[in-house]
A and B are shown apart, each in its own frame.
Chain A
Amino acid sequence: MSIAPPPNNEPAEIQAKNSLTDAPADDARRGFELPQVLQARSGRMTRELLLHPGQHGLGMTPDAMKADSTTTATCGYCATGCGLRLHVRDGEASD
């Protein structure tokens, strides 16, 4: 059984203003702005974030992060000198 949403009796222009998907036409500063992260217009699709066993002790990783091998290097910020395990993939050097 589905639960119907309560009827929205607000006038259309106010409904439009409150809409989460339509940006307001004017630049007027709103008192409250939703964080952008709720509505990403670009970025990875959910299917690309599916997790698969990562091997090399990496737990579950999405395909884009799948590694062929790992190697350890010292971190380059502070002098704690943490060891970071770098996940590397065989492929043409890009970027």
Chain B
Amino acid sequence: MWTPVACSRWRSVGLTPETSYPVNLGMACPKGWEALEVLNSEKRAHYPLLRQADGTQQRVSWDTALTTFTERFKSIQAKHGNAAVAFVSTGQIVSEEMAFLGALAKFGMGVQHGDGNTRQCMATAVSAYKESFGFDAPPYTYDDFEQSDCLVFVGANPCIGHPIMWERVLRNQKSPEIIVLDPRRTETAMASTQHLQLNPKSDLALLYAITQHLIAANLIDYDFVNAHTEGFEELAAHVSAFTPEAVSQQCGIPVLDIRRAAESIGRASAASLWWTMGVNQSYEGTRVAQAIINIALITGNFGRPGTGANSITGQCNAMGSRLWSNTTNLLGHFKFESADDRQHVAETLGIDVDRIPNEGSWAYDEIVEGIRNGEIKGLWVIATNPAHSWINRGDFRELLGKLDFLVVQDMYDQTDTAKHADLVLPAAGWGEKVGTFINSERRYGLVKKVRRAPGEALADFQIFRAIAAYWGVGDVFAEWTDPEAVFRIMQRLSRNRPNDISGIDGYQQLDASGGIQWPFSEAESQQEDAPVQQRRLFSDGRFYHENGKARLIVDQITPMPEPPDVDYPHLLLTGRGTVSQWHTQTRTENSKVLRKLYPQQPYAEIHPRDAAKLDVINGDRIRVRSRRGEVEVTAMVTPTVRSGHVFIPMHYRIVNELTLSHFDPHSHQPSYKDCAVCLEKV
């Protein structure tokens, strides 16, 4: 059955992983199996809620909610300027809603600053790709997991973080070398053939040492380097000092292990390098990602099956946010700063070019600082929970109190952030609305409506339509009638761009094809009877910079800003806890099945030697203190963390009481995985 809206009478009663879908081939993790269950929660937002004079949130009509939204934000803008209202959105809503939100806020409401929680997950990969390739373009397709002779995972634990991708690795018939760079002995590290258990934040030095060995051992594909890259001499000069001998102690890795990893990469006929949050959530993450990209470039590992420098994406539609959120980049990955781009987008949308701002947004951290210094007075938060997830959250919650008006639009009204809201707008969730997500391998996939949203909750798309009408800009968005109409606008904007999707024949073809990866231009659609299901980039060696070459980018190493010391002798690492938990647990805490699969109370993994020094055994309570706050957690004594390190999963709201606000200077992504703490037995 094709229809995206399965007719109002249809109702979903269950789900199973789709066996013919080219991504998961019939597999799903526990979160996927329980995707419907979390829609039934009593924590769902049913009605608009407005904060009253007595401080309570009370149910109001949509008319009151939308009138209040418009009046309050307009009055803030009248008093403090248009830029005093900002929005923070998400990687969780569909692309068509991302586009609508960004266009409505910036072209309709005159909002200057908006960003997404994708800043917390993918910004670093975006910055790295844009500078290295000339466009934010993960080059791979999942088939590469199965075709690679050597897979290198840097700061990535796909066994837990992306379990179905790991299943694809397990289908690899080539007995691949699997190299893991991670300070923890993660599940993925245990399954690897080489685990380089490096000291935290020594990844850049280690990758430079691998690069140095590749050059010294002449494992370079000079044909590829000469034809398709620039900056090789600078790269070679920069890494010459980073011999394995020179970095061994700093990284905590024996010289021979570094050389062995480099040899494995350099001699593989198809090597692929993969990274996730261990790289992205780092204060020098952009340069680390580029060091990974450099290795793939100089060894000619691009454009062939099993190759690539491959960023694994976090949220279901982080890629949609990157292309369509109209925040950092002008809608469709254009530049706000370019008059030509503004003109082109205005003409394509049929709007007045003066509606398009000539500069991009502040990043998330800059919006937060804007609240602190009083420049941002109104905030609209869509489908994210910064009161839990923002770095050093204690500080952030105080900042929410400084706002004149806070609107939270979410499918649950019990999140930490929603509890602070002056106005809650109840939204439909996944399975209750229509649109497209773009996955890690650039695949547009359909989301369908198989349930009715509870109470008066509306699809985010409908909320944006209503706000456009109440704001008085309904005519600007006359063409934006339904998700597929917006998809057609996106197709027009993408024409002749790296992310071209002009060849897709509507939602129906997406549905029939098992999703379609960008680019899929009109020309390609005429050549291919049906879209090829596994498509990778750069098989012609042409990158997106004007000269067609990729750039090899290097930088100095930056020290950790808060290394462990006498008072705070341990280093706090954070990350995903289990396959059954998702981020701030807004959804996953609503499934009985998932709740059985992870510890209910926050815990900290500590090494047995550290536990012995504290006289702590497994299950004892310990206090973890940083310069920002202190929390009590259960000790989980395990040798998977090194002595001197503590690991606390990010899903428990206490963890960001401890973290240190610091950011990658290029991507503005928070660095969640390095701050000093001390431990005490309670």
Contact = CB atoms under 8 A, between A and B. Distances in A.
Given A70-B1, A88-B12, A91-B9, A79 B32 contact: no
A90 interface: yes
Nearest to A84: B15
B445 A87 contact: no
B31 A77 contact: yes
Contacts of B511: 72
A85 B436 CA distance: 16
B27 interface: yes
Contacts of B24: 80, 82-83
A69 B319 contact: no
Contacts of A74: 316, 436-437, 439, 445-447, 515
Contacts of A61: 14
Given A82-B164, A84-B32, A76 B8 contact: no
Contacts of A80: 23-24, 162, 164-165, 439-440
Contact of A86 (B21, B429, B431, B452): B431
B452 A67 contact: no
A77 B316 contact: yes
A76 B316 contact: yes
Interface in B1-20: 1-3, 6, 8-20
Contacts of B312: 79
A22 interface: no
B6 A77 contact: no
Contacts of B31: 75, 77-78
Best-surrounded residue of A65, A67, A71 (most CB of chain B within 10 A): A71
A33 interface: no
A89 B17 CA distance: 18
A75 B8 CA distance: 21
Interface string A55-67: 0011001001111
Best-surrounded residue of A83, A89, A92 (most CB of chain B within 10 A): A83
A76 B164 CA distance: 14
Contacts of A14: none
Nearest to B7: A90
A73 interface: yes
A67 B32 contact: no
Given A73-B446, A78-B161, A87 B12 contact: yes
Contacts of B9: 90-93
Contact of A78 (B6, B316, B448): B316
B446 to A, nearest CB: 6
Best-surrounded residue of A68, A79, A81, A92 (most CB of chain B within 10 A): A79
A65 B37 CA distance: 13
Contacts of A48: none
A83 B441 CA distance: 14
Given A91-B11, A93-B8, A94-B11, 12 more contacts: A71-B2, A75-B31, A78-B582, A79-B317, A80-B162, A80-B439, A81-B515, A82-B17, A86-B12, A86-B15, A88-B13, A92-B9
8 contacts: A58-B16, A76-B35, A80-B162, A82-B24, A83-B17, A84-B28, A86-B431, A91-B11
Interface of A: 57-58, 61, 64-95
Interface of B: 1-3, 6, 8-21, 23-24, 27-29, 31-32, 35-36, 40, 91-92, 161-162, 164-165, 312-319, 429-431, 436-441, 443, 445-448, 450-452, 454, 511, 514-515, 582, 587
Q: Which 6 A-B pairs have the closest CB atoms?
A: A81-B439, A83-B21, A76-B430, A74-B445, A79-B313, A83-B18
